[in-house]
A and B are shown apart, each in its own frame.
Chain A
């Protein structure tokens, strides 16, 4: 799936089982695999970078401007491309991003059984929060958790704002979320919670990367509405409940902290509250 978004020369040097690719203008390509980070002996030319950008935007900048402003481009199959460049602002509003200098491709993968230790069955009723610094496997863990909840027979509403959890491609959920998952792709969180609560009758709401006021409000709305929540949050432990996130401290029954040692996705803490 990823190959159709990369220039031929770059495809030719992709290592197997790559987890992340970083293309930086006129710099060597860097890869992240299970073995760790490495640099290829290939400098990304301006032409290659432009081609990669055109492929990632499907030569349709207008279709992804809103996402670009939020710093990423969603590709088919749940691949997400982080974008670094220069903002074009109109007052307080970022209109678009120009002079793009870096593209970071994050390739989703599935680790079946990552959440098995939670022993999820039809009676599981915990609000679960997964916390970790970036690139420690939060989304992978959340995906497996969603699948387990779905297999256990619960209606799972997946708020997949960035299209990473389900990897939806033209109306098909390409990553395994079981048979009881309803995936809302690309909805802003403020709308997604309302839509899910009002029209999907969920037992669980699953959402990735809690990041602002709309998430806090949405999670609280679900919590007080009797719907369970499984979510992820950037942080390194319970200290993540600061500032805007303080009201969420009471919501979660279980906090799972992930880390990179001894390997990416290792459960560092499993706090039952």
Chain B
């Protein structure tokens, strides 16, 4: 059986440091700490969960949960992330979709997608040299009807089950959830940061209490942390894949100038800690 050896989550943007230099540096250092920890785990594959920003997906066909099954991806080049090509993992991705279908999750398989900054920046954080294949799992929380937090958390559990049941012995998988924390994008509240919500979310994530967060409704998260806060469903997907894990806050900064709460965590499953 394969194993999920670690879970991580991080905000998926950076903005110019002008005026917030110290905070920007702490955010960057937190992101680089995620890189170091992933490297130390020596994964064979990264499952990267996050959202598209209506770049590939659109309101013409509102796909919420989808898995990239392609052999390779070329990023869109938005958000300041240079266009890059990285390897996918078709056998893992298609196998996961088939396995999930038997667990009541009908996931959309995606052959053609240009990962935008929501995937490209976390991937650059995790593996700048493009050595590790990545399976993108789209949790498009920005769709008019987003998937529920509970469903995203349970899908992470299905991923864990799949890895342990069907993947080769000794395959080491890292899950990285990307997005959040609180932000109100293009809404009248833009610029507000719900730091108390963010800190509580992180505290529960790293103390093995993510299932409590998964009991929130999408509307609860939307009201408390904005439309951008709904991207935390990608964190919950990651946490669902490491249900007995505890972890560490790697960074948190409330940065109204960036219109966002910025944060990152690690979750290390019991077997990895042992």
Whether A associates with B in a native complex is no
Residues of B within 8 A of A (CB): none
